[in-house]
Amino acid sequence: MKLLYASDLHGIERHYEAIGRFAPEAKPDAVILGGDLFPDEQTYDSLRAGREQPRFVRSFFRQWIGRIAAAGVQRVFVIFGNHDWMPSAEATEELSRTLPVCVADRWTRHASSAPPGELFRGVRIVGYSSTPPTPWYVKDFELQDAPDEPPMGREARGGLRWDAGHAAALEAEVEELFSPRRTIESQLATLPPIVEPWIFIAHAPPRDTGLDCMFGPRHIGSRAIRDAIEHRAPLLSLHGHIHESQVLSGRYAERIARTLSINVGQETRQTHTAWLIVDEAAGELKSFEQRMLP
């Protein structure tokens, strides 16, 4: 099984087009997108917040999925990130009813007795979108990392979170947004046992690795996600969120216990991706490499 992974495309059409040009040549069975997929808004405007991205989903993103599906890609697996709005996730779920796109983090929002994610060619693909608090003002996919990690450090800021009842993004302070009762750790604890070989797509990288280095330098990944990787042992974990980490650490892949974790980063001049080949019958990763697409 051949997989192409990328993250943090931020609605930049040339990134999507680079993947679209590569797909017919490389013929991946699936494309995996690791969050922060849609365009950032140009201004902080609570009246417009959360309304522009869904239009991108229903126009450009819909057409792009159709094009790469026509090129032979069987599935597009997606999660979201701290720059994405909840209405964008809902719009993407609408697309999944008619197009070969799977919202791999759907289990975090919809109670179901079905296993999380999707079983694809014998490998289960499971996603997780939320990150620890950031200075960015979109707060739909941010949570406190763990109960014993208060979010009052320099990364935490107030901002806007989508309110379905008001059909609008409402402003809130840090104390309203983050609670030790609802954390990344507690949400991941609800993930049921997974019997198949599985791939974990999490927007935030694991803490204190070569994958979560930010200018400073400092590590701002998730401890809860690292703990989940160590204890649940997915075949692969795929991350994004911190674009410059590879430049700072010199690494885009690192082994955590039995799991290979990857964050290829992202930039504007070329499109960073990872090319992965999985032996689904053996439940093993056969090879992986970074691919820079022009």
Q: What is the largest CA-CA distance in the chain?
A: 51
Is 83 a residue whose pLDDT tops 80? yes
Fold assignment, 2-293: Purple Acid Phosphatase; chain A, domain 2 (3.60.21)
Asked if the model's pLDDT at residue 154 lies above 80, the reply is: no
The structure's pTM equals 0.97
Residue 204, judged by CB atoms within 10 A of its CB (0-12, 13-18, 19+), counts as buried
The CA–CA distances, whole Å, from 100 to 31, 72, 118, 203, 245 equal: 11, 11, 12, 21, 31
Confidence class of residue 36 from pLDDT cuts 50, 70 and 90? very high
Residue 43: pLDDT band (50, 70, 90) is confident
Answer yes or no: is pLDDT of 153 > 90.
no
Our measurement of the distance from residue 117's CA atom to the centroid of its chain's CA atoms, rounded to an integer in Å, reads 13
Distances (CA, A) of 200 to 39, 129, 135, 204, 226: 24, 11, 25, 11, 11
Q: Please determine, for residue 222, whether its predicted confidence score (pLDDT) is greater than 90.
A: yes
Residue 148: half-sphere exposure toward Cβ, Cα within 13 Å: 2
Q: In this structure, is the dihedral angle defined by the CA atoms of residues 9, 12, 18 and 23, taken in order, positive or negative?
A: positive
**Do residues 106 and 93 lie in contact, with contact meaning Cβ atoms separated by under 8 Å?**
yes
Q: Which residues pair with 137 in a beta bridge?
A: none
Q: What is the pLDDT of residues 160-205, one digit of tens each?
A: 999 999 999 999 999 999 999 999 999 999 999 999 999 999 999 9
Q: 44: pLDDT confidence band, cut at 50, 70 and 90?
A: confident
Instruction: Identify the pLDDT of residue 135.
Output: 92
Instruction: Please name the helix (run of DSSP H) or strand (run of DSSP E) that holds residue 56, with its range, or none.
Output: helix 52-56
Quick: pLDDT tens for 92-150.
Answer: 999 999 999 999 999 999 988 889 999 999 999 999 999 999 999 999 999 999 999 87
The pLDDT mean for the chain works out to: 95
Per-residue model confidence (pLDDT) at position 42: 74
Average confidence (pLDDT) over 234-257: 96
The DSSP-derived string for 219-233 is: E--BHHHHHHHHHH-
- In sign, the C-alpha dihedral spanning 98, 32, 118, 138 is negative
Is 156's pLDDT higher than 90? no
Q: What are phi and psi of 67, to 5 degrees?
A: -70, -45
Domain layout of the chain by residue ranges: 2-293
